[in-house]
Amino acid sequence: MSKAMGSERIGKVYKGGKTRARREWRGLRDTWYDYTRWLFIWKTMIGFMMNLNNIRGFFRYRWMANYLAVPDFLDRHTEGLRGPQLRIAHTEFDLIVAHMCDTMTTMFKADPLIGNDKKLSDSIVVFDENMMSQIMNGFPNLHMVCIQIPPVYTSSTMTQEGVIHYIDVAQEFGIPADVCPMPAAELGVAIDDDYPHIGKCAVQCNTTCDGSLMGNGLEARRYGIPTFQLPVPIRHTQDSVQDYAAEEIMNAIRFIEEQTGEKFDWDNYWKCMEVFNEETKQMLEWLELSRSPYPQVIGNNVALYRDATYQVAGGRDARFLDADREITRLGLEGYEKKCLCAPVVRHRAILWGVQAQYYTAFPLWLQNCWGILPLIDMLSLTSTRIFQTGDEKQALLDMAHLYQNMTMRNRSNGGYEVGVKDLWRFCESFKADMVIMYEHIGCKAMAGYHGIFEEQARERGIHLVWVTHGLMDPRAASRKDMRGEVSRYMRAVMGEAPLDPSLEDFDDSNAW
Amino acid sequence: MKDLKHLYYFENLLQEANNDLVRQAASEGRVAVGSVCSLVPEVLLSLPGCFGVRLRAPRTGSMEMGTYYMTSLLCECCRAILERAIEGGYKFLDCVIAPDACAQMNRCVENIDLQKLCDKEKFFVSYADVPMKSGDAALRHYVKQMRLRALDPLRDTFGVDTSDAALREAVARHNEVCRLITAIGDLRKEERPRITGYEFHVLCTATYCCPKDLLVEKLRETLGELKAREPAPEGAYRARVVMAGSELDSPDLVKLAEDSGALVVADRFCFGSLPGRQEIVLTEGEDVLTQICRQYLEQGQCPRYMDTAKINERKAYVDALAKEYRADGIVYEQMKFCDYWGYERAAASRIMREEFGYPVLSVDVPYVVGTNAQLRTRMQAFVESVEIKKIQGEAKR
Q: What is the pLDDT of residue A20?
A: 79
Residue by residue, DSSP assigns A22-75 as ------HHHHHHHHHHHHHHHHHHHHHHTSHHHHHHHHH-GGGGGGGGHHHHHH
Using 50 as the pLDDT threshold, list the residues of chain A that sit under it. Answer: none
- What is the Cα–Cα distance from A185 to A165, expressed in whole angstroms? 8
Compute the mean pLDDT over every residue in chain B, rounded to the nearest whole number.
96
- The verdict on a CB contact (< 8 Å) between A450 and B70 is yes
| Average pLDDT score over residue span B41-50 | 97
Residue of B nearest to A468 (CA): B71
**Tens of pLDDT along B5-33?**
999 999 999 999 999 999 999 999 999 99
Q: Is B103 in contact with A175 (Cβ distance < 8 A)?
A: no
| CA B266 – CA A152 distance, rounded (Å) | 40
Compute the distance between CA of residue B50 and CA of residue B43 in angstroms, rounded to an integer. Answer: 10
Q: Return the H-helix or E-strand segment holding A288.
A: helix A266-291
The secondary structure of residue B231, as a DSSP letter, is P
| Phi–psi pair at A376, nearest 5 degrees | -160, 155
Q: Which of A210, A443, A454, A469 to mutate to test the interface with B (most CBs of B within 10 A)?
A: A210
Determine if residue A237 is left, alpha or beta; phi over 0 gives left, psi from -120 to 50 gives alpha, anything else beta.
Answer: alpha
Tell me the DSSP string of A344-371.
S--EEEEEESPPPGGGTTHHHHIIIII-
Q: What is the pLDDT of residue A499?
A: 97
State the best of B72, B143, B152, B306 to mutate against chain A, taking most chain A CBs within 10 Å.
B306
Q: With left for phi above 0 and alpha for psi between -120 and 50, is residue A373 left, alpha or beta?
A: beta
Contacts of A242 (CB under 8 A, 6+ apart): A397, A400, A401
**Could you tell me which of B85, B338, B66 has the C-alpha nearest to residue A451?**
B66
Torsion of CA B129, B132, B133, B134, to 10 degrees: 40
Q: Are B360 and B352 in contact (CB under 8 A)?
A: yes
pLDDT of residue B396: 54
Q: Do A452 and B304 touch (CB under 8 A)?
A: no
Decide if B172 touches A, using CB distance below 8 A. no
Nearest to A160, CA basis, from A24, A38, A69, A58: A69
Question: Which chain A residues touch B350 with a CB distance below 8 Å?
Answer: 173-174
Is B73–A441 a contact, with Cβ atoms under 8 angstroms apart? yes
A205: part of which helix (H) or strand (E)? strand A201-205
Contact A451, A464 (CB under 8 A): no
pLDDT at B397 over 70: no
pLDDT for position B128: 97
Q: What is the spatial distance between Cα A29 and Cα B79, in angstroms, rounded to a whole number?
A: 57
Tell me how many degrees the CA angle A441-A445-A449 measures, rounded to the nearest 5.
Answer: 90
Residue B314 contacts residue B346 (beta carbons within 8 Å): no
pLDDT band of residue B371 (cuts 50, 70, 90) is confident
- For A208, name the nearest residue in chain B, comparing CA atoms only: B103
CA dihedral over B132, B133, B136, B137, signed as positive or negative:
negative
Distance separating alpha carbons of residues A402 and A249, to the nearest angstrom: 11
pLDDT at A200: 98
B residues 310..349 contacting A (CB < 8 A): 311, 334, 336-337, 339-340, 342-347, 349
Q: For the stretch A74-87, what's the b/e string if a residue is b when 16 or more beta carbons lie within 10 angstroms of its beta carbon?
A: bbbbbbbbbbbbbb
The residues spanned by each domain of chain A are: 10-503
Question: Looking at this protein, which amino acid is placed at residue B110?
Answer: E
Give which of B338, B335, B332 is closest to B359, Cα–Cα.
Answer: B332
C-alpha B273/C-alpha B277 separation (Å) is 5
Q: No. of H helices and E strands in chain A?
A: 21, 8
Contacts 24+ apart (CB under 8 A), A92-96: A92/A301, A92/A304, A92/A305, A92/A323, A92/A327, A93/A304, A93/A305, A94/A37, A94/A40, A94/A41, A94/A44, A95/A319, A95/A320, A95/A323, A96/A304, A96/A305, A96/A308
| Phi, psi (deg, nearest 5) at residue B347 | -70, -50
The partner residues of B247 in beta bridges, in order of sequence, read: none
Q: Is B238 helix (H, G, I), strand (E, B) or coil?
A: coil
Beta-carbon pairs below 8 A across chains A and B: 154
pLDDT at A18: 87
Work out the number of other CB atoms within 10 angstroms of the CB of residue A50.
9
Q: What is the pLDDT of residue A1?
A: 66
Nearest residue of chain A to residue B344 (CA atoms) = A214
pLDDT of residue B394: 58
User: CB of A402 within 8 A of CB of A317?
Assistant: no
Q: Name which of B144, B307, B349 is nearest A174 (Cβ-Cβ).
A: B349
Q: What is the mean pLDDT of residues B36-44?
A: 96
Q: What is the pLDDT of residues B195-246, one digit of tens each?
A: 999 999 999 999 999 999 999 999 999 999 999 999 988 889 999 999 999 9
Test A206 with B306 for CB contact under 8 angstroms.
yes
Phi-psi category of B133—alpha, beta or left, where left has phi over 0 and alpha has psi -120 to 50?
A: beta
Mean pLDDT, residues B269-290: 96
Which of A478, A479, A483 shows the shortest CA–CA distance to A465?
A483
Q: Is B156 exposed, middle or buried (0-12, 13-18, 19+ CB in 10 A)?
A: exposed
**Omega of the bond prior to A208 within 30 degrees of 0, cis?**
yes
Chain A residues in contact with B343 (beta carbon < 8 A): 175, 179, 211, 214-215, 217-218
pLDDT at B303: 95
Beta carbons within 8 Å of B35's beta carbon, 6+ residues apart: B42, B45, B52, B53, B54, B55, B96, B97, B98
| Separation between Cα atoms, residue B275 and residue A503, nearest integer Å | 58
> How far is Cα of residue A305 from the mean position of the Cα atoms in its chain?
7
For residues B317 and B268, the answer to whether their CB atoms sit within 8 Å is yes
Order of all β-strands in the sheet with A372-377: A372-377, A347-352, A434-440, A463-469
With an 8 Å Cβ cutoff, are A215 and B343 in contact?
yes
Q: Do B345 and A204 touch (CB under 8 A)?
A: no
pLDDT per position as a tens digit, B52-101: 999 999 999 999 999 999 999 999 999 999 999 999 999 999 999 999 99
SS3 A254: helix
Return the minimum-mean-pLDDT range out of A1-15, A269-283, B154-168, B271-285. A1-15
**Among candidates A217, A234, A251 on the partner chain, residue whose Cβ is nearest the Cβ of B137:** A251
Q: How far is CA A133 from CA A145, A307, B20, B78, in A?
A: 9, 12, 55, 34
Closest residue of B to A236, CA-based?
Answer: B129
